[in-house]
Chain A
Amino acid sequence: VDDSALIARVQAGEREAFHVLLQRHSPALLATLHSALANREDAREVLQETWLRAWQHLARVREPARLRAWLLSIALNLARARHRRLPALGLAAGGAGEPAAQADGGDALEDAEELARLRLHMAALPARQREVVDLRVNHGLSHAEIAALLGITEEASRANHYQALRRLKDGLQGASSTRSRARGASAERSEP
């Protein structure tokens, strides 16, 4: 069932439909808020407030198919209000430990290592670039939507996204080549 149908059902008084929306969008929203606020308790409170406001103003959703963008706008505005002293919302560095316990497959260790490195590189990105990458890659927002959410131009959103992906790619490539060289040297040493 898509979001539009669920919204219509909520407005008809069906609370279970709202529960489905909660389950569908909360994980990604909470991950973004947690990352943005660097504090679990704050993220939880902002997410609760976001959903309560969403309930009150559900009739104002102009494009039900873009519900995620609408929810993000509420959540990020609330997060900004909570941290008004910060000039930009800046995603926090986030805990850099234990990144990929759930990685699966034969090369799980490699994936886990790579995710750990990626997390570090993400933490090193400028705040604006982290925000844009998260909204674009994890929430699938268009650059126009990101621009409206963050109060920047569409071009700035594109540029931040491009630069962030480049930096992350270069960071991972650099780490891979260093590791390959280390492996080669260790293989040479172990040869009789």
Chain B
Amino acid sequence: MNAPGTGCERVRARMVEQVEGELAPLDEALDRGHLEACAECACERAELERVRHGIRGLARVAEAELGVELALLQREVLARLPAHAPRAPGLRMRTVLTAAAALLLLFLWSRGGLPSAPRAADLANLDPWLERLPAWPELLHGLGGLLRPF
């Protein structure tokens, strides 16, 4: 056995990682060597393993207790699923946006091109700019018609 304390502190400080196989290969080899020689640390490690085993055991018991409920629940979930298969939402959204952009461009092109942005001097008289905006006059006319009764 090693002299008391030789390497024990180091090994115990990272024993959880060692038990879970998370140590780097060199550290793992070092600690493994220590554990083979130190009965106290080996005992400590076995206790940790026992705890982890017990935690999994508790979970299995809980799952077994919920077994009947689970069968019912799965049936309910399947009954509530939509009829269609899940689709890729990103693809669907992209398709819609691309189609909308294409339609807008086509519409603007059919009306004589995109309106240019107004300059400061134009702000005094917005009419020429508004006239170049597609559908604005029709929209205003429509709104006026709607508001006339009031």
A and B interact physically:
yes
Bound-complex Cα distance A137 to B81 (A): 31
State whether the Cβ of B125 lies closer than 8 Å to any Cβ in chain A: no
A24-68 vs B, CB cutoff 8 Å, 1 = contact: the mask equals 001110110011000010001001100110011111100000000
Residues of B within 8 A of A134 (CB): 55, 59
Q: How many residues of B contact A (CB 8 A)?
A: 36
Main secondary structure of the interface of B (DSSP, over half): helix
Residues of A within 8 A of B86 (CB): 10-11, 55-59
State whether the Cβ of A185 lies closer than 8 Å to any Cβ in chain B: no
A62 to chain B, nearest CB (A): 12
Q: How many residues of A contact B (CB 8 A)?
A: 52
Residues of B within 8 A of A47 (CB): 73
State whether the Cβ of A81 lies closer than 8 Å to any Cβ in chain B: no
A118→B81 contact, CB < 8 A: no
Which residues of B, 5-51, contact A by the 8 Å Cβ criterion?
16, 47-48, 50-51
Residues of B within 8 A of A27 (CB): 63, 66-67, 70
Bound-complex Cα distance A55 to B76 (A): 14
Bound-complex Cα distance A58 to B86 (A): 7
Known contacts A30-B70, A114-B54; A13/B85 CB under 8 A: yes
Name the CB-closest residue of A to B43: A173
Set A30, A56, A168, A172: member contacting B63, Cβ < 8 A: A30
Bound-complex Cα distance A56 to B85 (A): 9
Known contacts A48-B77, A161-B16, A173-B47; A101/B61 CB under 8 A: yes
B57→A165 contact, CB < 8 A: no
Which residues of A, 108-132, contact B by the 8 Å Cβ criterion?
111, 114-115, 118-119, 122
B85→A138 contact, CB < 8 A: no
Residues of B within 8 A of A162 (CB): 16
State whether the Cβ of B141 lies closer than 8 Å to any Cβ in chain A: no
State whether the Cβ of A180 lies closer than 8 Å to any Cβ in chain B: no
B85→A28 contact, CB < 8 A: no
A26→B48 contact, CB < 8 A: no
Set A26, A30, A31, A55: member contacting B81, Cβ < 8 A: A55
Residues of B within 8 A of A57 (CB): 86, 89
Residues of B within 8 A of A94 (CB): 62
Residues of A within 8 A of B16 (CB): 161-162, 165
| B positions within 8 Å CB-CB of A | 16, 47-48, 50-52, 54-64, 66-67, 69-70, 73-74, 76-78, 80-82, 85-91
Given contacts A27-B70, A101-B61, 7 further A-B contacts (CB under 8 A): A10-B86, A22-B74, A31-B66, A44-B73, A115-B58, A134-B55, A161-B16
